[in-house]
Chain A
């Protein structure tokens, strides 16, 4: 069974600085998809970024980028120029067989002004 591990329950970052959230996963598949979701206090789940495993290039979306290390099964999220609005819970997710998303336990990101 695929598993997703987020080893940092909480992280803090100063406004305007850069922070990296870690995620590792376990799978025997060679072709798969990975996602980062943001959950602000409103509880809404918002897709931040996705990565296709067959692509070597790391995905980027404005201030959000990933460091995808397929051999190490690592998929970290980097947030540059952190803003107060980035404060949220962040979930890493793996698209498993049967089109199901498997989520990590989440990392709470706090942004200090």
Chain B
């Protein structure tokens, strides 16, 4: 089983460029999440989608947009990348209310120069 698949694994952007991080899960999970990980700050929630067709802001949504394309896919878009968005990005999914925790993708290391 693939679990949660994120692409790309690494990316370098110039300030002002746009890009979309892709995420897909094959576990029939209904909830999906995007986090960013920064040193000394743990993982912070950017956006989440409790079910297909719904999305909600998390703790740090500014500068990002998301699309829940279908039950499997949840993408994160940076419209105009800034150096402050240099981070490691994780996609995750959970079944039902997430009582058993999340399954995470392997992360995307994004550098904005």
Contacts and interface: CB of A to CB of B under 8 A. Distances in A.
B31 interface: yes
A8 B104 CA distance: 24
Contacts of A43: 88, 106-107
A103 B42 contact: yes
Nearest to B44: A103
B74 interface: no
Contacts of B50: 98-99
Main secondary structure of the interface of A (DSSP, over half): strand
Most B Cβ at <10 Å: residue of A4, A6, A33, A100: A100
Interface in A60-109: 91, 93, 95, 98-106
A55 to B, nearest CB: 12
Contacts of A33: 98-99, 101
A105 B106 CA distance: 19
B98 A99 contact: yes
Size band of the interface chain A makes with B? 20 to 34
Contact of B100 (A50, A91, A98): A50
B110 interface: no
A101 B88 contact: no
Interface of B: 31, 33, 35, 40-45, 48, 50, 56, 58, 88, 90, 92, 94, 97-102, 104, 106-107
12 contacts: A43-B106, A43-B107, A47-B102, A91-B42, A91-B43, A95-B98, A99-B48, A100-B45, A100-B98, A101-B92, A105-B41, A106-B42
Given A6-B42, A99-B97, 20 more contacts: A42-B106, A43-B107, A44-B107, A45-B90, A45-B92, A93-B101, A95-B99, A98-B48, A99-B31, A99-B94, A100-B48, A100-B58, A101-B33, A101-B43, A101-B92, A101-B98, A102-B45, A103-B43, A105-B41, A106-B42
